[in-house]
């Protein structure tokens, strides 16, 4: 696909809104995305068909329902990276509910399948400062990091595949990087399995549980309650 064609797919506000919503890593129905973008189901279906044909989204059908999701981690990284290049001025929330959602997403959220927001950046800073990950012409997991991941229940050898083992991803709220790649996804998955974080409603925002507060502080020295 040419650069111009890909850029054209994302130049439309409705299609861009769909892609950003799907950064929560889940599959959405056409109706859900239509309501999110405030367009008709027929308009949503037309836009989604273009995104699927362009390779940015993938389609799944279950009975009468049509679900769509981001096609792969590469598509997710593209959407998040482009979001980080948007102007840093965030529109004022329209109401208290929107204000609460925005604040929650800035504290901790999912970026497709890994941790983002202040929590994601804090985790990235901590593993680098503790020598679990090194940034030597690109991120690599050190021997200490391999042992730390194993204690956490993550088998690094099982993560090697078609996607990068570990990479940085520019965080659009913090304007700094958080961890992505297979390791970033595994860390989020374990945090969710161990109930360190939980989803808030149906969006991307995450709540850090009391157990998560203790775990992040004990394992990485992060005091998520104060933002330190």
DSSP state of 176: S
State percent of the chain over pLDDT 70.
90
Burial class of residue 70 in the structure, from the number of CB atoms within 10 Å of its CB (0-12 exposed, 13-18 middle, 19+ buried): buried
Query: What's the mean pLDDT when you consider all of the chain?
Result: 87
pLDDT at 26 over 90: no
In a domain, 88, yes or no: no
The 10s digit of each residue's pLDDT in 101-126 is: 668 788 999 988 999 999 999 999 99
Return the residue matching tokens 């309650």. 225
Tokens at 214, concatenated = 């203790």
Same-domain check for residues 100 and 173: yes
Instruction: Find all residues with CB under 8 Å of 216, minimum gap 6, and list them.
Output: 119, 122, 123, 196, 208, 222, 224
pLDDT, average across residues 156-174? 84
DSSP state of 207: E
**Number of other residues whose CB lies within 10 A of the CB of residue 19:** 23
The 10s digit of each residue's pLDDT in 180-217 is: 999 999 999 999 999 999 999 877 899 999 999 999 99
Domain hosting 154: range is 96-220
Which of the two residues, 226 and 124, has the higher pLDDT score?
124
Same-domain check for residues 112 and 216: yes
Return the residue matching tokens 């157990």. 211
Total structural domains in the chain? 2
The whole model's pTM is what? Answer: 0.74
Same-domain check for residues 157 and 192: yes
pLDDT, average across residues 88-94? 53
In a domain, 188, yes or no: yes
Q: What angle do CA 210, 212, 150 make, to 5 degrees?
A: 150
**Number of other residues whose CB lies within 10 A of the CB of residue 202:** 11
pLDDT, average across residues 81-94? 62
Same-domain check for residues 177 and 100: yes
- pLDDT-derived band at 76 (thresholds 50, 70, 90) equals confident
- pLDDT-derived band at 147 (thresholds 50, 70, 90) equals very high
pLDDT at 130 over 90: yes
- Spatial distance between the Cα atoms of 109 and 15, rounded to a whole number of angstroms: 21
Same-domain check for residues 168 and 213: yes
Tokens at 186, concatenated = 């595994």
Same-domain check for residues 67 and 105: no
- Spatial distance between the Cα atoms of 92 and 102, rounded to a whole number of angstroms: 10
Same-domain check for residues 181 and 121: yes
In a domain, 81, yes or no: no
User: What is the C-alpha end-to-end distance of the chain, expressed in Å?
Assistant: 43
Same-domain check for residues 67 and 113: no
3-state secondary structure of 55: coil
Instruction: Find all residues with CB under 8 Å of 17, minimum gap 6, and list them.
Output: 36, 37
pLDDT at 60 over 60: yes
Strand-pair partners of 169: 178
């Amino acid at each position: 696909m040419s650069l111009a064609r890909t850029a054209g797919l994302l130049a439309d506000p409705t299609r861009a809104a769909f892609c950003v919503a799907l950064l929560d890593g889940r599959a959405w129905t056409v109706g859900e995305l239509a309501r999110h973008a405030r367009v008709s189901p027929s308009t949503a279906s037309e836009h989604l068909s273009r995104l699927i044909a362009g390779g940015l989204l993938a389609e799944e059908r279950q009975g009468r329902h049509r679900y769509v999701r981001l096609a792969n981690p590469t598509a997710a990284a593209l959407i998040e990276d482009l979001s980080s290049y948007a102007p840093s001025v965030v529109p004022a929330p329209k109401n208290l509910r929107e204000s609460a959602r925005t604040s929650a997403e800035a504290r901790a959220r999912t970026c497709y399948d890994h941790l983002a927001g202040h929590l994601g950046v804090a985790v990235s800073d901590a593993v680098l400062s503790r020598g679990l990950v090194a940034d030597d012409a690109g991120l690599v997991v050190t021997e200490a990091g391999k042992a730390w991941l194993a204690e956490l229940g993550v088998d690094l050898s099982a993560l090697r595949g078609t996607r990068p083992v570990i990479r940085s991803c520019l965080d659009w709220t913090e304007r700094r990087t958080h961890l992505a790649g297979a390791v970033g996804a595994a860390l989020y998955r374990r945090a969710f399995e161990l109930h360190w974080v939980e989803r808030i409603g149906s969006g991307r925002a995450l709540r850090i549980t009391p157990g998560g507060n203790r775990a992040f502080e004990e394992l990485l020295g992060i005091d998520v309650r104060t933002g330190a």
